[in-house]
Structures are given as C-alpha cells and as structure tokens.
Structure 1
C-alpha cells in the first residue's frame, strides 16, 4: 500500500499522506484529519476512526458497512482548523458505491486538544 495513491484524493502516495497519521502522527490541520478519516473509512480502519473521534461524542464501537466502497472525497470548504487553531469546520462530499452509487455531504466540526485534532460531530 505504500506506493499506491492515497484514498483521500490528495494525489500523494498513502505512505506520504494518510499512512503516517493512521500510524500515530498527529494531523497538522482539521482538513488533514478529515482526509485521514476518509481514508480510514475507505480502508476499513475502525481503530483509527475511533482514536480520532473526540471522547465526548465517540461511540463505544463502530461497525462499518462492508458492502460500501468509499472511492472519492471532495473538500468543499474549510473554516479555521489550521495548525494554530483550536477549532475547525470542514465541509465535504464523500462518494461511495455498493448496491447503489451515492454520496454523503457533511459539514463536520473538529477540535484540537493535547496536540491532536479530533472529529466531534456533523453540523
């Protein structure tokens, strides 16, 4: 997987993009966390999804739909969420295929604590 394109659509290889975040490197921005979470959905990495979810809203368990394949992420806008911010908002559309094709459009809120960005909730 190290030489393949990252599922998040950045154009980088997985090893140079979301791979390090999935292995424990903190995301520098809310958008990078959003991209890494999309890649985790695409790869079925529930452990990372739970680790990157804020404890105040994190579910106890997470079951992904094995019938869905997440294949494209479009970042529509970001508000704050930079390296020196404490909060950020990312609007995106994620595309999937399975029994049918579809998309999920969401605006997500992120917070930074202890040097790490966390997904909080959909707005």
Structure 2
C-alpha cells in the first residue's frame, strides 16, 4: 500500500504514518486500540503474516487464509480500554465489509455486512497481542 494513501483504519493519517510502520515492524502498537486498528488495516491490505504475528500464541491459529473477495470498507471504534501502561485491554468496534461475486461475475461485490466485536488484548514484553473476541449481536 502507498504510504501516502489514507490509512484503512480511518484514523485520518496516511498509511505511512499510521499502520504502515507497525506492519513493517518499525514500531509496536502503543495501545490496544492501536493494535486493533493495525490488525483491521492488515485485513484490509491482505497482510496475513502481520495478523498471525500479533495474535497471542495461546489462541493463534496455525495458519490464516484471508478472503480476497472481501473488502473491508469502514472501521468504527465504539469503546476502548488499554493504554500504553496497561497489561490488558478491550476494544469494541464495528467493521463494515463488502464481499462475494455479485451479478456480472467475479469482481462485482454485492454482499454487505458488519462485524461487531469486543476484542481482548494483552501486553507482554512491551508488545500488545490480540487474544480473542466476542461477536456482538
């Protein structure tokens, strides 16, 4: 992704100043929310290795296949807990997506949906990790 492009997490910053450095390993996320935003952006740009790297080892899957027909369109953070000096945190968010081959075949997105989740995070060794989440109704 172009560093000058708007970051997919919709922070208002360019990708190169927001989630890009986290994806590149140049710096760790400072808060649970920053990690959640960077993970959302990783889904948006298709960075499965970053997602696995930031998943806590106790809950991390052995592998991760991303759905390339799914386009993440919007992120709304509803509530957050877990600052730079905390050891755990939670982030409630709604992520909006479009997916599936619609009328006209592949490349025509037709299904719209939302993922509403409360994600849990822990900070170990100065790094935040995604542990798991509850899907909200």
Query: What TM-score, normalized to structure 2?
Result: 0.88
Structure 2 alignment gaps of length 5 or more: 101-110
Match of 1:64 in 2: 66
User: Size of the alignment, in residue pairs?
Assistant: 122
Q: Which runs of 4+ in 1 moved over 3 A?
A: none
Match of 2:7 in 1: 6
Matched, 1:17 2:28: no
Query: What TM-score, normalized to structure 1?
Result: 0.97
* 1:27-66 pair list within 5 angstroms: 27-66=29-68
- Measured against aligned partners, the alpha-carbon deviations of 1:43-64 in whole angstroms (never above 9, x if no partner) come to 0000000000000000000001
Match of 2:88 in 1: 87
- 3-state secondary structure, aligned to 1:10: coil
1:105 & 1:66 partners in 2: Cα distance?
20
Shift of 1:74: 0.3
Larger relative CO (CA 8 A, sep 6+): 1 or 2? 1
- Let me know the Cα RMSD of the aligned residues: 0.6
* 1:73-84 pair list within 5 angstroms: 73-79=75-81, 81-84=82-85
2:54 & 2:67 partners in 1: Cα distance?
19
Match of 1:114 in 2: 125
